[in-house]
């Protein structure tokens, strides 16, 4: 643990001297810990240059992972030792909140019963300097530079329809009515281009994907949606997929937290989200 702490401080400060000061040890002691860690992992983590040091490519990636790990440990410890300071305020998209988060919140409360989660919805970007938000779930391309962001999962899409019209829609999609979301206006075009099919002219748009999914359940047409957002509807027989393999888009769901020190509850919420997603993907 001491070797990891020393390397995390070196990665943060890019200085053996400053890392030693933070640890209240000597510079040679920090250098010895780094060498011990390099011997343990079997590869160089630090490049020693005249009057300065730099991290190797492997060292930079390792330092980022270790820093995030220490943050999770610190957040969990703080949450145990400190009383709650109001509800954890999470901003999300309406469809994601309704169809993925809220059905799982009872499980979260079983694990973290000492603080509440206050969920608000918006399509607008979050500004932690002005918005009363502790964490936010946003969507952005996989290569988007999002400081302090944790990638949750990749957004995939597939057509779905009510079982009463699924067979006919699967055989003659060009004659079906398409149900679309104003929040995701390009999904149908992306799916059609990737599958090499022509889209019908009949498109009915709704304010959110959640409304479009509900319209599909009522038999109004075919909706394009993420499998993760309609898993219960498929399992309960309210919707049927019209394809075998979802299309992976270039967008990902991200969990954003404010820069600097975040609330311990937000760190624990992040860890719970990642566990839920990994269990879902594994099952």
pLDDT in tens, 18-42: 777 777 788 888 888 888 878 888 8
Looking at the fold, whether 148 and 162 belong to one and the same domain comes out as yes
Biggest CA-to-CA distance, the chain = 75
DSSP state of 172: -
Query: Which of the residue ranges 37-41, 43-47, 79-83, 185-189 has the most confident prediction, judged by mean pLDDT?
Result: 185-189
Looking at the fold, whether 32 and 151 belong to one and the same domain comes out as no
Looking at the fold, whether 265 and 224 belong to one and the same domain comes out as yes
> pTM for the full model?
0.67
Tell me the residue range of the domain where 118 lies.
86-283
Residue appearing with tokens 């702490």: 5
d(CA 43, CA 57) in angstroms, rounded, equals: 11
Looking at the fold, whether 64 and 158 belong to one and the same domain comes out as no
Looking at the fold, whether 125 and 250 belong to one and the same domain comes out as yes
Structural domain tally of the chain? Answer: 2
Among 81, 105, 124, residue at a domain's last position: 81
d(CA 242, CA 89) in angstroms, rounded, equals: 37
H or E, element range at 52 = strand 52-55
Report helix, strand or coil for 49: strand
Among 34, 51, 81, residue at a domain's last position: 81
d(CA 240, CA 257) in angstroms, rounded, equals: 36
| pLDDT at 177 > cutoff 90 | yes
């Amino acid at each position: 643990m001491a070797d990891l702490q020393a390397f995390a401080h070196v990665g943060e400060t890019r200085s053996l001297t400053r890392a030693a000061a933070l640890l209240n040890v000597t510079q040679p002691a920090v250098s010895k810990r780094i060498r011990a860690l390099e011997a343990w992992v079997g590869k160089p983590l630090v490049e020693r240059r005249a009057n300065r040091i730099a991290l190797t490519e492997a060292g930079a990636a390792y330092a980022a992972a270790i820093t995030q790990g220490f943050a999770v440990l610190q957040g969990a410890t703080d949450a145990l030792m400190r009383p709650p300071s109001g509800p954890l305020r999470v901003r999300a998209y309406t469809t994601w909140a309704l169809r993925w988060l809220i059905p799982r919140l009872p499980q979260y409360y079983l694990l973290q019963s000492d603080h509440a989660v206050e969920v608000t919805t918006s399509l607008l970007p979050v500004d932690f300097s002005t918005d009363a938000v502790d964490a936010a779930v946003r969507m952005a391309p996989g290569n988007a530079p999002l400081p302090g962001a944790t990638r949750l999962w990749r957004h995939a899409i597939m057509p779905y329809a009510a079982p009463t019209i699924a067979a006919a829609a699967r055989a003659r999609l060009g004659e079906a009515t398409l149900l679309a979301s104003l929040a995701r206006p390009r999904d149908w075009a992306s799916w059609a281009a990737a599958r090499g099919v022509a889209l019908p002219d009949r498109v009915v748009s709704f304010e959110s994907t959640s409304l479009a999914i509900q319209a599909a359940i009522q038999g109004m047409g075919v909706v394009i949606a993420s499998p993760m957002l309609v898993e219960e509807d498929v399992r309960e027989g309210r919707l049927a997929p019209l394809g075998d393999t979802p299309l992976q888009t270039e967008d990902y769901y991200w969990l954003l937290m404010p820069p600097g020190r975040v609330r311990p509850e937000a760190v624990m919420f992040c860890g719970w989200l990642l566990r839920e997603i990994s269990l879902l993907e594994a099952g």
